[in-house]
Chains A and B, each alone.
Chain A
Amino acid sequence: MKGGSRVVVQPHRHDGVFVAKGKEDALCTKNMVPGEAVYGEKRVSVQNEDGSKVEYRVWNPFRSKLAAAILGGVDNIWIAPGTRVLYLGAASGTTVSHVSDIVGPTGVVYAVEFSHRSGRDLVNMAKKRTNVIPIIEDARHPARYRMLVGMVDVIFSDVAQPDQARILALNASYFLKNGGHFVISIKANCIDSTVPAEAVFAQEVKKLQADQFKPSEQVTLEPFERDHACVVGGYRMPKKQKVVTES
């Protein structure tokens, strides 16, 4: 990290996320396994007043859509220390590692990846991190890994499939708790390349709304990704408060 000893790590608005402010500012997470980088990222170690050392890993927004969404100014990611997260489309596990950092030892990340090649890296990463449970299985069939996954607070979906809304709804029906939240990354080209990205995003939001989801916000991932958007919302949100207000 440039700036040397003058680098200061500050906590982000989201729990478990930090910002290393040196010559350039970078998102980072507290490394669960100090001294080890997952995908060759930079690390920043900070010495506290009591002499204990804390190591942070720099979070690359070009490789992680969640980081890009955070930098894009999403209001709430719902992933915080101690939460249980179902991660669909984990790939090599770069973002998963950062999510595991965020949730910390008290939380759990179920990482589902269908591709064996990517799954190998994921498994290797998961060996070091005790809070990551890798599942090499098709996310379209949640029944196959239903014995592995318990009830989760947040589902993060990055499957990039045309029926990703359905996949998300299926998994949510299996594992997401009522009043839980979802973060879905939508790649417009993967769904429909003939229409503008905004139209695709609105279409997807409609679908989600039809499946008992309540999208609360949407953020585009520019300048890190083209025609990408992150939609954050709740699942089976309780109408109690509404009733209260009504009554």
Chain B
Amino acid sequence: MMGKGTKSPRKAVRSSAKNHSTNNAFREDDIDDEIDAFHKQRDVVPLDVNGESEDEDLIEPVFDFEGIDEDDSDNSRSDDDGEESDGINDNIKDKGFAAKIARQAKYLRQKFGGDDDEMDDHEEEEEERKAIWGRRKSLYYNADNVDYELQSSDEDLPMEEEAEVLKIQREKAKTLSMEDFGLENNEQDESDSDRQNDMHQDALVGKTAMGRRSAVDDDNSYQNYEEIKKDFTDLSKEEQMDVVYSSAPELVGLLAELNDALDQVREVKPIVHKVGETTERGRVGMHFLEVKQVLLLTYCQSISFYLLLKSEGHPVRDHPVIARLVEIKNLLEKMKQIDVNLHPQLEDMAINSLKNVLTRGNVPLEVKPVTTGQQPKPIKDFEKSKSSQDADNASASQKKEDVQMGLQSLEMLKVRENLEAKLKKKGIYNLTKPKDVRKAVNGQLETLDDFDDEIKHTAVKNLESLSESRKLSQLVGTKANKSKIVSGDDDLPKRDDIGERRRRHELRVLARAGAVDDSDLMEDEDGGLGSRSMDVKDQDIDETGESEDEFYKEVKRQRVEKLRAKSEKYSGTLAVPSFVEAETDGKRQITYQMEKNRGLTRPRKKLLKNPRKKYRQKHQKQLIRRKGQVRDIRKPTGPYGGEATGINTSVSRSIRFKS
């Protein structure tokens, strides 16, 4: 058993070498007999491709427990080979030579079939290897046929390489999905926004276009549509809708509402327009209609803002716009109750107006009673349009519709502008606004106005809707500002902190728009935030005008007085010395001697006048005297040369004791 255990792997190796010998030409030539082959194989073994299994086989068991060994090998191979090989192994295990054959067969299977299995296992790696063609140059060059490579023509090679690279890149591109770029969510959002955009466009077109909606789009949105089509193809519609519902459940409802509101606006606007022309008639109706219009417009605006936020991926959950939406919604509900009463009356008006519009703009605006059950409809339409877009028949009619749409939109814009201008001029918003709405405007649209900047900064995707919303926001924003002034601190003095210069500047600006101010002044008191502030300003103008004059006069007078006082003072000072001089001529001046006369005071030496200096001098004098009494110690410096001061031999300076 021992011998078999050791021998069998070697045989397997040999057979593997035979299999591989096709790769190595020299081996084929050289191998003559079995012994040589064996030796060579032993040398070659570690270099073999299938190193892992070889290593495993090469382990020479010292105490060969057949079962264990087999089990191990089986376990290890069962991973690679699969169940059927196990079965075979188990069957063949015990039978001596048959076992050998079986093992060889198994090995062969491992070599070829096993390779396939390996490929299955390491599929990713293989693919990677395929995709990344040229990791290392040495893999492809400098092989055994170096000479041939050198000889081969250089012109062909780059071409081939390029073709190969292109092919690889194409394959790579195929495998890449949107997830790889991390674009999927954005695309989804974009699709949402585009869908909204489409709806908006549809709403603008009106109900008449509903039937052929799939074809109706202006160029911009159409382009968006085209771009997105590819993305939609990736997901099924159900999936898309699921995503939409899961991410923002209120979105679909809001879209429907937006549609609805726009329809209503469209409905109301001509009526308002018409009624506005003939103001004397239904005053109450007029108010109501205007309020309704404004409300609807703000609603549209907030929804579109919400959509904008959504499309840009901002978190909407805690945003004030949600509360605002709810509020407006409630108000609209209230409006609807009144609407029921006024409806027949309005219908008449609407019909009349519609006729006008129709004759003017060729737009069949159909008046529809407002119903709440309309909500899911636009989405269906949308989907329908999407589905039908692929159809060929749409393409021809689309262009026509586009042209028509352009005309219509232009018309509508013009009308809108007129309306806005009028509203601005008259300050109708302020007139007609109910109190709570205005408060809401103060509270919320302020923030909306703030976010307006953000809108400017972001990339504009849905141009039209954006521009509209911006206009609206601007409009409402200005209004909000005005109302803020009023509703805020009415009692407090507003202009205290503003300087004189600033006020004058404002006055100048206002003077330029004098007519407007006048008209504002003519308005009734409620009209005005603006007008009231204007009043204040005008008062200021008057007051300041008077006060300025007085102030300047006062200043001038003061200056004159000051100058006079100054001149008097200086003339006085000038006059005095001359007067004195004149007097001195008459009297005698004292002489120098008289001036310096010190009476009986004794003259002192300058040094002795100061007691400190006097003591200092005394001390110095005493020191000199002391030198004669007690001589200071002299240290010998160098060899003694003698007394520099000389020696007086005749002097005797000793102290004598009295006996």
Contacts and interface: CB of A to CB of B under 8 A. Distances in A.
A joins B in a complex: yes
A27 B641 CA distance: 10
B643 A71 contact: yes
Nearest to B639: A42
B642 A226 contact: no
A60 B631 contact: no
Nearest to B657: A215
A226 B633 contact: yes
Interface in B601-659: 630-634, 636, 639-644, 646-647, 649-657, 659
Contact of A58 (B642, B651, B654): B642
A71 B657 CA distance: 20
Contacts of A23: 642
Q: Please indicate which of the listed interface residues A62, A63, A214 has the most CB atoms of chain B within 10 Å of its own CB.
A: A62
A216 B640 contact: no
Interface stretch (A47-55, A72-80, A114-122, A126-134): A72-80
Contacts of A217: 654-657
Interface string A207-224: 000000011111110111
A88 B652 CA distance: 25
Contacts of B656: 75, 216-217
Contacts of B651: 73
Contacts of B649: 10, 12-13, 19
B654 A218 contact: yes
A26 B643 contact: yes
B133 to A, nearest CB: 109
A75 B652 contact: yes
Nearest to A237: B659
Interface string B283-311: 00000000000000000000000000000
Contact of A219 (B634, B642, B643, B655): B655
A192 interface: no
Nearest to A215: B657
Q: Please indicate which of the listed interface residues B630, B636, B647 has the most CB atoms of chain A within 10 Å of its own CB.
A: B647
A40 B638 CA distance: 12
Nearest to A20: B642
A24 interface: yes
A22 B641 CA distance: 10
A2 interface: yes
A232 interface: yes
Given A26-B641, A42-B639, A222 B632 contact: yes
B633 A222 contact: yes
A26 B640 contact: yes
A12 B646 CA distance: 13
A98 to B, nearest CB: 13
B653 A27 contact: no
Given A73-B653, A216-B656, A217-B656, A222 B641 contact: no
A74 B654 contact: yes
A186 B92 CA distance: 136
B195 to A, nearest CB: 120
Q: Please indicate which of the listed interface residues B630, B642, B657, B659 has the most CB atoms of chain A within 10 Å of its own CB.
A: B642
Interface residues of A, number: 42
Interface string B200-231: 00000000000000000000000000000000
A224 B642 CA distance: 12
A1 interface: yes
Given A13-B649, A222-B632, A222-B633, A205 B641 contact: no
Given A25-B647, A222-B632, A224-B634, A73 B652 contact: yes
B646 A25 contact: yes
B538 to A, nearest CB: 108
A21 B643 CA distance: 10
A24 B644 contact: yes
A104 to B, nearest CB: 19
Given A12-B649, A13-B649, A72 B654 contact: yes
Interface in A172-207: 205
Contacts of A218: 654-655, 657
B632 A223 contact: yes
A2 B640 CA distance: 11
B140 to A, nearest CB: 106
Nearest to A22: B642
Contact of A25 (B632, B634, B642, B653): B642
Contacts of A73: 651-654
Contacts of B653: 72-73, 219
Contacts of A215: 657
A62 B9 CA distance: 118
Q: Please indicate which of the listed interface residues B634, B639, B640 has the most CB atoms of chain A within 10 Å of its own CB.
A: B640
B640 A60 contact: yes
A36 interface: no
Nearest to B640: A60
A41 interface: yes
A8 B647 CA distance: 13
Contacts of A233: 657
Interface in B59-83: none
Contacts of A226: 633
Interface in B493-536: none
Interface string A58-94: 1011110000000111110000000000000000000
A223 B657 contact: no
Contacts of A40: 639
Given A24-B644, A42-B639, A222-B631, A214 B659 contact: yes
A209 B322 CA distance: 130
A218 B657 CA distance: 8
B634 A223 contact: yes
Contacts of B654: 72-75, 217-219, 232
Nearest to B635: A62
A220 B656 CA distance: 12
B559 to A, nearest CB: 87
Contacts of B630: 220, 222
A209 to B, nearest CB: 9
B659 A19 contact: no
Contacts of A24: 641-644, 646
A73 B630 CA distance: 13
A2 B642 contact: yes
B629 to A, nearest CB: 10
Contacts of A61: 640
Contacts of A20: 642
Contacts of A12: 649
Contacts of A232: 654
A220 B653 CA distance: 10
A226 B659 CA distance: 27
A215 B657 CA distance: 7
B646 to A, nearest CB: 5
Contact of A205 (B633, B636, B652, B657): B657
A16 to B, nearest CB: 13
Nearest to B659: A214
Contacts of A222: 630-633
**5 A-B pairs with least C-beta separation:** A73-B653, A24-B642, A26-B642, A217-B654, A223-B634
6 contacts: A26-B640, A26-B642, A58-B640, A219-B654, A223-B631, A232-B654
Interface of B: 630-634, 636, 639-644, 646-647, 649-657, 659
Given A20-B642, A60-B640, 16 more contacts: A12-B649, A21-B646, A24-B641, A24-B643, A25-B647, A26-B643, A40-B639, A42-B639, A58-B642, A72-B653, A205-B657, A217-B654, A219-B655, A222-B632, A222-B633, A232-B654
Interface of A: 1-2, 10, 12-13, 19-27, 40-42, 58, 60-63, 71-75, 205, 214-220, 222-226, 232-233
